[in-house]
Structure 1
Amino acid sequence: MPKARPRSVSVVALLADVPSTGQLGEAQAQRFPLEGEDLAAQGEAFLEFARYHVDAGRKVVALYPSWHSERAVRAIRFARGALQSDSVAAVAMDFSPLAMSLAADQLAYLAPYLPSGLVAALPAVLPEHMLAGGWLKSVTNLATIPISVRQHLGSYAPGSTFLAFSAPTKRVGRVRKGSAAANISARPVEPIQMLIARPEGHDIDAFNNQFTPAVRPVSISALPEQPLGAKYWGSKKYIEFVAFSAHPQALTQTVRAIRPTACVWCREPVAGLHCPFCRAANHPPVGRPPTRGADVPPPPARNTGEHVRPAWVGNDPGAARPSAAGPPPGAAPPQQPPQQPSPHAEPAPPGPASYPQTAPAPGHGRHHQPPR
């Protein structure tokens, strides 16, 4: 029997001036602010970091903010070209700096236990399991989250307050009547922890009185202002927050939400249209991941001219209607069912699907070279 290919190992780097929150202890993504006068100076430290790990047989998952990407993209391309290797993956993250810092450290924590392809796929699903945003007095200069003309004009009204969310979905809502609960569309799984960052001296009383009780966190940690916070929120007066689940299995459930397939070229497990490492085109599976014990309806029957009773109508044999063409010649007339179903009866919904207990087995593999 052929031996199973060894699982690839990766390290995580964050190419932006985004300090760590310290919530995961020593499990932190390596930070590269990319400061310097030219490309060589900006990307030198990252190039040496990537060279060291690629030579050791590890892959590099390079994260960067999509709204602050120019230097990061150039540094990653320079590293891939200089090393002549596709073991460096460029992964964009499109949410606020504080949430990005937390997500990068979560990936660094998971990297030793997951294949490289899954680590690179997680940034797409991590925002779905957190509540991140900003408490703003004005959204006039907010360019990273879509706003309406009415919200833009409302920023000039005295006493206006807005909640701008970058995760789980991008949206902006106006805080009315001193209550922020109506703007919260989803909450992480309890218990909830919350991180807060704000400029020095910015008032936080209204935030604590109106927003914090709606989230119901069990703990709150205050952190220094993120260096890129003012650029993301378009204002120097803001309160940035991220609420996430402190449940022991929270990250495990996030990983199970991914449905990977093996890359057609390098055999790395991927979950998107393109492999983040070799950039080969892939075909992700359609639909949600299969679940254990789920009430999955059977595939549709072929069109044979007969009416087929849907599987979810019920188990009453009299629920199926006879064929429109009638019985064949010489056949006995069908017996009248004891009870006719009500024509106004609605079909019963399918039973609830249980959450998968094990993660889907991803494909593993080293780098393949095509036949020449």
Structure 2
Amino acid sequence: MADIPSTGHVGEAGARRFTMRGDGVGARSAAFVAFAGQEVGAGRKVVALYPAWQASDAQRAVNFARGSLRTDHIAGIGIDLSPLALSLVADQLAYLSPYLPPGVVAALCEELPKHLLAGAWLRTVSGLSTLPTSLRQHMGSYAPTVSFLAYCAPTAQVGRLRPAEVAAGLPFRPVQPVQLLYSTPDPGITGVFDEHLPRAVQPVATRLLPAQPLGSAYWGTAKYVEFVALSAHPQALAYAAGSVRASACSWCGEPMSAKPCPFCSANSTTGSAQTPRPGPAAAHGAHPRPPNGHPVPGENPVRHRDGRAGATAPTGNPAAPAPPEHHPATAAGPANGHAPPPGHGPLAPPEGPAFPGRAPQPDPPRTYSR
């Protein structure tokens, strides 16, 4: 819920965007309220993401939608990430939302940033207010040869760029192979960035994206190169989803990993609930699939729907048809009617023997990061 265009990194499974533009709060909220009404009326829940550093209009729109529709099936979640990282996380959530309960999708809003390295190269931090900075760093901004590396995920920190210490100073290294996305409003200033950060991260692929409209507002300057490094491992998203520990809400029953519940705001649980985990193909280049063609316990697989969303992702469709007996992604194309991102072919059938006499069990959740 902000003017944050998609990165296109997960193909067509992108989140629905609302730029929150217009004269007055009503005009800025109208499109989202209409969308939420359609999704709630169809029996789905909505997870609405918005930047925590620009939250007022989005919070008013979410509150108005919940009040006018008289429902608690809309959860508004603020995330303190840069525009490029927030855009990627929103699309990843839309990508996973058909295969996970709404409460787990909401919990992943906090979990997915822990598996990214996101930040920016900055020429100055004199206007930076979204990340913690020191007086010494502000004074250093006036020196002509000084620049900075600022990180917003997985931790928030700002430090002076020292070429010999870039690799050792990375707060997190995504699991190889790594993909690097970056954007800048001024392509002529990327020299220092190109010489140091890619060498430290060692990506197998690098993509230059158009600058985010809100990038200068977040970084406090137009002299920046914003980046996100993420793992392209085939099971990266599946391990991130499996690392969520959720308990059922005592009021609405949704799995939740933090109190209060993002939907009904209840502050108690009825016991632990095992987090469903997408199939092993839940990666950036292939749509997630349940193991051996069976739905993951505790979830309602959702077929393709128009206007699907992740930043405002309708989840948990009880009216969705049951999955077919064969594997949902075959040579005819992946599930939900989406084509895989360029460079990725159709998924192969699952390997290994069948499960005679018993239902398949998901693997124990593991945190796939280091």
AA aligned opposite 1:95: L
User: For 1:1-372, what aligned pairs fall within 5 Å after superposition?
Assistant: 15-177=1-163, 179-282=165-268, 357-359=363-365
CA distance in 2, matches of 1:359, 1:215: 27
Name structure 2 gaps, 5 residues minimum.
276-361
CA distance in 1, matches of 2:8, 2:202: 22
CA distance in 2, matches of 1:202, 1:275: 46
Mapped contact 1:180–1:211 kept (Cα < 8 A)? yes
CA distance in 1, matches of 2:161, 2:66: 46
| Count of paired positions | 278
* 1:201 Cα offset (Å): 3.8
* 1:177 Cα offset (Å): 4.4
Query: How big is the alpha-carbon RMSD for the aligned residues of Structure 1 and Structure 2?
Result: 1.8
Residue 199 of structure 1: SS of its match in structure 2?
coil
User: RCO (CA 8 Å, sep 6+): is it higher in 1 or 2?
Assistant: 2
Residue 45 of structure 1: SS of its match in structure 2?
helix
CA distance in 1, matches of 2:84, 2:162: 25
AA aligned opposite 1:86: D
CA distance in 1, matches of 2:103, 2:112: 15
Mapped contact 2:163–2:196 kept (Cα < 8 A)? no
- Identity, % of aligned pairs? 51
AA aligned opposite 1:180: V
Mapped contact 2:249–2:270 kept (Cα < 8 A)? no
* 1:137 Cα offset (Å): 0.9
Write the deviation string for residues 120-160 of structure 1: whole angstroms up to 9, x where unpaired: 01011111100000100111111111011211111111211
Shift of the 285–213 alpha-carbon distance from structure 1 to 2, 3 Å rule, reads farther
* 1:183 Cα offset (Å): 2.5
AA aligned opposite 1:61: V
* 1:268 Cα offset (Å): 0.4
* 1:358 Cα offset (Å): 3.1
Mapped contact 2:186–2:223 kept (Cα < 8 A)? no
Shift of the 251–284 alpha-carbon distance from structure 1 to 2, 3 Å rule, reads farther
CA distance in 1, matches of 2:176, 2:71: 42
AA aligned opposite 2:259: L
Write the deviation string for residues 350-372 of structure 1: whole angstroms up to 9, x where unpaired: xxxxxx93349xxxxxxxxxxxx
Q: Which has the larger radius of gyration?
A: 1
Residue 152 of structure 2: SS of its match in structure 1?
strand
Write the deviation string for residues 213-260 of structure 1: whole angstroms up to 9, x where unpaired: 000000000001001100000001100000000001101111111110
In structure 1, the partner of 2:313 is none
Mapped contact 2:122–2:223 kept (Cα < 8 A)? yes
Write the deviation string for residues 60-104 of structure 1: whole angstroms up to 9, x where unpaired: 000000001011000000100110000000111111100000000
Residue 30 of structure 1: SS of its match in structure 2?
coil
Write the deviation string for residues 282-302 of structure 1: whole angstroms up to 9, x where unpaired: 25989xx9xxxxxxxxxxxxx
Mapped contact 2:250–2:270 kept (Cα < 8 A)? no
CA distance in 2, matches of 1:71, 1:24: 27
Mapped contact 1:132–1:242 kept (Cα < 8 A)? yes
Write the deviation string for residues 275-323 of structure 1: whole angstroms up to 9, x where unpaired: 100011125989xx9xxxxxxxxxxxxxxxxxxxxxxxxxxxxxxxxxx
Residue 62 of structure 1: SS of its match in structure 2?
strand
* 1:186 Cα offset (Å): 1.4
Residue 188 of structure 2: SS of its match in structure 1?
coil
Mapped contact 2:155–2:171 kept (Cα < 8 A)? no
CA distance in 2, matches of 1:178, 1:235: 25
* 1:178 Cα offset (Å): 5.7
